[in-house]
Structure 1
Protein backbone atom coordinates (compact mmCIF):
# COMPACT_ATOMS: atom_id res chain seq x y z
CA UNK A 1 0.00 0.00 0.00
CA UNK A 2 1.22 3.47 -0.86
CA UNK A 3 1.75 5.42 2.38
CA UNK A 4 2.80 8.97 3.16
CA UNK A 5 4.97 9.37 6.23
CA UNK A 6 5.00 12.80 7.81
CA UNK A 7 7.77 13.23 10.38
CA UNK A 8 7.84 16.48 12.34
CA UNK A 9 11.15 16.73 14.18
CA UNK A 10 11.94 18.16 17.60
CA UNK A 11 14.05 21.26 16.92
CA UNK A 12 16.61 20.72 19.69
CA UNK A 13 17.20 17.07 18.82
CA UNK A 14 17.44 17.85 15.11
CA UNK A 15 19.91 20.66 15.87
CA UNK A 16 22.11 18.18 17.76
CA UNK A 17 22.09 15.76 14.82
CA UNK A 18 22.89 18.55 12.38
CA UNK A 19 25.84 19.71 14.49
CA UNK A 20 27.16 16.14 14.75
CA UNK A 21 26.65 15.50 11.03
CA UNK A 22 24.28 12.60 11.74
CA UNK A 23 21.03 14.02 10.32
CA UNK A 24 21.99 13.69 6.64
CA UNK A 25 23.24 10.15 7.32
CA UNK A 26 20.01 9.19 9.08
CA UNK A 27 17.86 10.61 6.28
CA UNK A 28 19.91 8.81 3.63
CA UNK A 29 19.68 5.51 5.52
CA UNK A 30 15.92 5.96 5.82
CA UNK A 31 15.57 6.72 2.12
CA UNK A 32 17.78 3.75 1.20
CA UNK A 33 15.58 1.48 3.33
CA UNK A 34 12.18 2.84 2.25
CA UNK A 35 13.02 3.67 -1.37
CA UNK A 36 10.38 6.43 -1.46
CA UNK A 37 8.84 7.44 -4.75
CA UNK A 38 8.93 11.00 -3.41
CA UNK A 39 10.58 12.75 -0.48
CA UNK A 40 10.13 16.38 0.52
CA UNK A 41 11.69 18.41 3.32
CA UNK A 42 10.17 21.63 4.63
CA UNK A 43 9.16 23.57 7.72
CA UNK A 44 5.64 22.89 9.00
CA UNK A 45 4.24 24.93 11.88
CA UNK A 46 7.76 26.07 12.69
CA UNK A 47 9.39 22.62 12.81
CA UNK A 48 11.56 20.67 10.40
CA UNK A 49 9.32 18.21 8.64
CA UNK A 50 9.81 15.53 6.04
CA UNK A 51 7.24 13.81 3.89
CA UNK A 52 8.02 10.49 2.23
CA UNK A 53 5.71 8.50 -0.02
CA UNK A 54 6.62 4.82 -0.21
CA UNK A 55 5.18 1.33 -0.55
CA UNK A 56 4.48 -0.35 2.80
CA UNK A 57 4.11 -4.09 2.33
CA UNK A 58 2.77 -4.76 5.82
CA UNK A 59 1.76 -2.67 8.81
CA UNK A 60 4.29 -4.62 10.89
CA UNK A 61 6.95 -2.44 9.22
CA UNK A 62 5.74 0.62 11.13
CA UNK A 63 7.84 0.14 14.29
CA UNK A 64 11.10 -0.29 12.36
CA UNK A 65 10.33 2.81 10.30
CA UNK A 66 9.14 4.92 13.23
CA UNK A 67 11.65 4.15 15.98
CA UNK A 68 14.66 5.97 14.49
CA UNK A 69 12.51 9.10 14.14
CA UNK A 70 11.20 8.75 17.70
CA UNK A 71 14.50 7.92 19.40
CA UNK A 72 16.88 10.16 17.45
CA UNK A 73 14.65 13.11 16.61
CA UNK A 74 11.81 13.08 19.13
CA UNK A 75 9.60 13.29 16.04
CA UNK A 76 5.83 13.28 15.80
CA UNK A 77 4.80 10.85 13.05
CA UNK A 78 1.77 10.25 10.88
CA UNK A 79 1.31 7.34 8.48
CA UNK A 80 -1.44 8.03 5.93
CA UNK A 81 -2.60 5.77 3.08
CA UNK A 82 -2.48 7.79 -0.15
CA UNK A 83 -3.26 7.35 -3.86
CA UNK A 84 -1.71 8.72 -6.99
CA UNK A 85 -3.85 9.68 -10.00
CA UNK A 86 -3.66 6.16 -11.44
CA UNK A 87 -4.84 4.64 -8.13
CA UNK A 88 -7.72 7.11 -7.96
CA UNK A 89 -8.78 6.31 -11.52
CA UNK A 90 -8.66 2.58 -10.80
CA UNK A 91 -10.70 3.03 -7.61
CA UNK A 92 -13.32 5.23 -9.22
CA UNK A 93 -13.70 2.82 -12.14
CA UNK A 94 -14.84 0.17 -9.66
CA UNK A 95 -17.85 2.24 -8.60
CA UNK A 96 -21.18 0.94 -9.89
Structure 2
Protein backbone atom coordinates (compact mmCIF):
# COMPACT_ATOMS: atom_id res chain seq x y z
CA UNK A 1 0.00 0.00 0.00
CA UNK A 2 1.52 3.27 -1.15
CA UNK A 3 0.90 6.22 1.15
CA UNK A 4 1.52 9.93 1.19
CA UNK A 5 2.60 10.86 4.72
CA UNK A 6 2.30 14.54 5.57
CA UNK A 7 3.98 15.37 8.88
CA UNK A 8 3.70 18.90 10.26
CA UNK A 9 6.49 19.16 12.80
CA UNK A 10 5.90 20.93 16.12
CA UNK A 11 7.73 24.29 16.01
CA UNK A 12 9.02 24.16 19.60
CA UNK A 13 10.28 20.58 19.22
CA UNK A 14 11.95 21.40 15.90
CA UNK A 15 13.58 24.55 17.27
CA UNK A 16 14.92 22.58 20.23
CA UNK A 17 16.27 19.83 17.94
CA UNK A 18 17.93 22.37 15.65
CA UNK A 19 19.54 24.28 18.56
CA UNK A 20 20.84 21.06 20.13
CA UNK A 21 22.18 19.79 16.79
CA UNK A 22 19.95 16.69 16.99
CA UNK A 23 17.67 17.49 14.01
CA UNK A 24 19.98 16.08 11.32
CA UNK A 25 20.47 12.86 13.29
CA UNK A 26 16.72 12.51 13.92
CA UNK A 27 15.96 13.01 10.23
CA UNK A 28 18.59 10.47 9.20
CA UNK A 29 17.24 7.89 11.68
CA UNK A 30 13.66 8.57 10.60
CA UNK A 31 14.47 8.21 6.89
CA UNK A 32 16.39 4.98 7.50
CA UNK A 33 13.46 3.52 9.43
CA UNK A 34 10.69 4.71 7.09
CA UNK A 35 12.64 4.17 3.82
CA UNK A 36 10.49 6.52 1.73
CA UNK A 37 10.37 6.27 -2.06
CA UNK A 38 10.49 10.08 -2.06
CA UNK A 39 10.93 12.71 0.64
CA UNK A 40 10.34 16.45 0.43
CA UNK A 41 10.74 19.11 3.11
CA UNK A 42 9.45 22.67 3.32
CA UNK A 43 6.98 25.05 4.92
CA UNK A 44 3.31 24.09 4.59
CA UNK A 45 0.35 25.48 6.51
CA UNK A 46 2.78 27.58 8.56
CA UNK A 47 4.79 24.57 9.83
CA UNK A 48 7.98 22.76 8.95
CA UNK A 49 6.62 19.84 6.97
CA UNK A 50 7.77 16.51 5.60
CA UNK A 51 6.01 14.92 2.64
CA UNK A 52 6.98 11.28 2.33
CA UNK A 53 5.90 8.65 -0.18
CA UNK A 54 6.00 5.29 1.58
CA UNK A 55 5.14 1.83 0.26
CA UNK A 56 4.07 -0.53 3.05
CA UNK A 57 3.26 -4.19 2.38
CA UNK A 58 0.80 -4.27 5.30
CA UNK A 59 -1.20 -1.67 7.22
CA UNK A 60 -0.01 -3.17 10.52
CA UNK A 61 3.35 -1.51 9.78
CA UNK A 62 1.87 1.98 10.17
CA UNK A 63 2.42 2.28 13.94
CA UNK A 64 6.10 1.25 14.02
CA UNK A 65 6.84 3.18 10.83
CA UNK A 66 5.30 6.48 11.92
CA UNK A 67 5.73 6.40 15.70
CA UNK A 68 8.98 8.39 15.74
CA UNK A 69 7.27 11.28 13.96
CA UNK A 70 4.92 11.55 16.92
CA UNK A 71 7.34 10.82 19.73
CA UNK A 72 10.47 12.62 18.57
CA UNK A 73 9.03 15.52 16.59
CA UNK A 74 5.54 15.85 18.12
CA UNK A 75 4.28 15.97 14.53
CA UNK A 76 0.70 16.18 13.33
CA UNK A 77 0.58 13.31 10.82
CA UNK A 78 -1.87 12.72 7.97
CA UNK A 79 -1.75 9.51 5.92
CA UNK A 80 -3.40 9.32 2.49
CA UNK A 81 -3.49 6.26 0.22
CA UNK A 82 -2.06 7.12 -3.22
CA UNK A 83 -1.29 5.34 -6.50
CA UNK A 84 1.21 5.74 -9.28
CA UNK A 85 -0.04 5.80 -12.89
CA UNK A 86 0.42 2.06 -13.40
CA UNK A 87 -1.60 1.23 -10.27
CA UNK A 88 -4.34 3.66 -11.29
CA UNK A 89 -4.57 2.09 -14.74
CA UNK A 90 -4.88 -1.40 -13.20
CA UNK A 91 -7.61 -0.17 -10.88
CA UNK A 92 -9.52 1.55 -13.68
CA UNK A 93 -9.35 -1.62 -15.80
CA UNK A 94 -11.01 -3.55 -12.95
CA UNK A 95 -13.83 -1.05 -12.40
CA UNK A 96 -15.17 -1.14 -15.97
Within a 5 Å distance, the mapping from 1:39-78 to structure 2 comes to 39-78=39-78
Deviations 1:27-81 (A, max 9, x none): 1112112221110101111100001101112222222222211122111001111
Matched positions, count: 96
| TM-score scaled by length of structure 1 | 0.90
Detail structure 1 runs of 4+ shifted over 4 Å in the superposition.
none
* Other-structure match for 2:23: 23
* Contact 2:8–2:48 (Cα < 8 Å) also in 1: yes
* Other-structure match for 1:11: 11
C-alpha root-mean-square deviation of aligned residues, in Å?
1.2
| TM-score scaled by length of structure 2 | 0.90
Report deviation, 1:82.
Answer: 0.5
